[in-house]
Amino acid sequence: MTTRPDRIARVRLSSLRLPLTTPISDAKVLTGRQRPMTEIAFLFAEIGSEQGHEGVGFGYSKRAGGPGQYAHAREIAHELVGEDPNDIARIWDKLVWAGASVGRSGLATQAIAALDVALWDMKAKRAGLPLAKLLGAHRDSVRCYNTSGGFLHTPVEEVLKNATASLERGIGGIKIKVGQPDTRTDLARLDAVREHLGEDVPLMVDANQQWDRATAHRMGRAMERHGLVWIEEPLDAYDHAGHAALATALDTPVATGEMLTSVTEHAELIRAGGADVVQPDAPRIGGITPFLRLAALADHEHLQLAPHFAMEIHLHLAAAYRSEPWVEHFEWLEPLFEERLDIRDGRMIVPDRPGLGITMSEQARAWTTETYST
């Protein structure tokens, strides 16, 4: 008996903006390269099939680019209609070539990400499995650390309170931002956080690409006494040689990759030996399909994995990575979804709901500024 293939019947795109309670500043703001962040733009994709299966996915932009992602997705969305939703890799190639005139990385593939994620969500729902299980999970929970409580606009006393609150919530590690104009301020803040946490709590720092090579080497050596899990983005994201030299010189692992926008860019970083910890972002590199390609490459090189942001997606992908990864905890996106992720004993629990286990909230609908259906 043969089963008739399912077909994609409809695609709905939504552009929305999530406001942040407090303007957010990291080292890029202090160097004058960016303004404080006050909102995040999201592109949501909802895909339905002829047989009644549905999937939801999303991508985002933290500053400029959100309208561009939406516009590009709107131009290519019709390419999905009539396709078998299970043929995700082929559909990804079709979509990327539909817009190849403007590139096969960056904004062009970020617009595809929401569609790709929605197809994987549908496929896992169709199988009645959490996405991690569909991919082949190595674990049912993943170590998690908090970033949102340690930004540079936050006074150190509040950073300490935020760290305590995160640990009490069940989060396992703490990351703080560095990159102050006066490096002594960074070291003093780090000293205070380490003293507050004690020696046993995993601690990371993130310079958001704002050090030069000499500063990164000096600061890396000065911070080694704190036993950091990693130093993140000490240099420009495309300075692979600089990251490689730093990784060789320091005992502390070097983490980077969140700003790269394709598997090819990550492959160049890995080939150069520029990361002990790779930090891909599925929405930034085009979705789950390219993320899996990159994860296979990173695993082959025995690298640690710590995906950037979007924990609702990355929890599943990290759970399917062979060696023990980390997932970054940001509560910022929680208002977008009806569900909440379970965190306890330092770990984020893979939900037992099928697919990603997320549903767009009424608040997300209220923040929507534009929609398109095909």
Helix residue ranges, H only, 82-106: 88-98
Whole-number pLDDT of residue 1: 52
Looking at the DSSP bridge assignments, the partners of residue 173 are 145
The number of angstroms, rounded, from the C-alpha of 264 to the middle of its chain's C-alpha atoms is 17
**Mean residue pLDDT across the chain:** 96
Confidence of residue 64 (pLDDT cuts 50, 70, 90): confident
What would the mean pLDDT of 352-371 be, rounded to a whole number?
97
For 60-92, letters b (16+ CB in 10 Å) and e give bbeeebbebbbbbbbebbebbeebebbebeebb
Residue-wise pLDDT tens digits, 247-264: 999 999 999 999 999 999
% the chain with pLDDT above 90:
91
Rg (Cα) of the chain, in Å, rounded? Answer: 20
- Comparing 30 with 11, the larger pLDDT belongs to 11
Q: How many helices (H) and strands (E) does the chain have?
A: 14, 14
pLDDT score of 306 more than 70: yes
- Is the CB of residue 61 less than 8 Å from the CB of residue 40? yes
Give the chain's domains with CATH numbers. Answer: 8-128+362-373 (3.30.390.10), 132-349 (3.20.20.120)
Residue-wise pLDDT tens digits, 181-205: 999 999 999 999 999 999 999 999 9
Confidence of residue 104 (pLDDT cuts 50, 70, 90): confident
Range from 2-6, 274-278, 336-340 carrying the lowest mean pLDDT = 2-6
- Residues present in the chain in total: 374
Please give the backbone phi and psi of residue 322, each rounded to the nearest 5 degrees, phi first.
-65, -50
Nearest to residue 38, comparing CAs of 61, 57, 68, 62?
62
Q: How far apart are CA 68 and CA 111, in angstroms?
A: 8
Confidence of residue 100 (pLDDT cuts 50, 70, 90): confident
% the chain with pLDDT above 70:
99
pLDDT score of 65 more than 70: yes
Whole-number pLDDT of residue 2: 56
Confidence of residue 34 (pLDDT cuts 50, 70, 90): confident
pLDDT score of 105 more than 90: no
Q: Give the 3-state secondary structure of residue 239.
A: coil
Instruction: State pTM to two decimals.
Output: 0.96
Please give the backbone phi and psi of residue 129, each rounded to the nearest 5 degrees, phi first.
-125, 150
User: DSSP readout, 107-174?
Assistant: HHHHHHHHHHHHHHHHHHHHHTSBHHHHH--S-SEEEEEE-TT--TTS-HHHHHHHHHHHHHHT--EE
In order of 202, 222, 223, 277, 358, the CA distances from 218 in angstroms are: 22, 6, 9, 20, 43
Q: How far apart are CA 241 and CA 52, in angstroms?
A: 50
In order of 5, 53, 294, the CA distances from 2 in angstroms are: 9, 19, 35
How is residue 308 written in tokens?
């950037």
Residue-wise pLDDT tens digits, 12-30: 999 999 999 999 888 889 8
Q: How far apart are CA 351 and CA 373, in angstroms?
A: 30
Residues forming the active site = 177, 308
pLDDT score of 101 more than 90: no
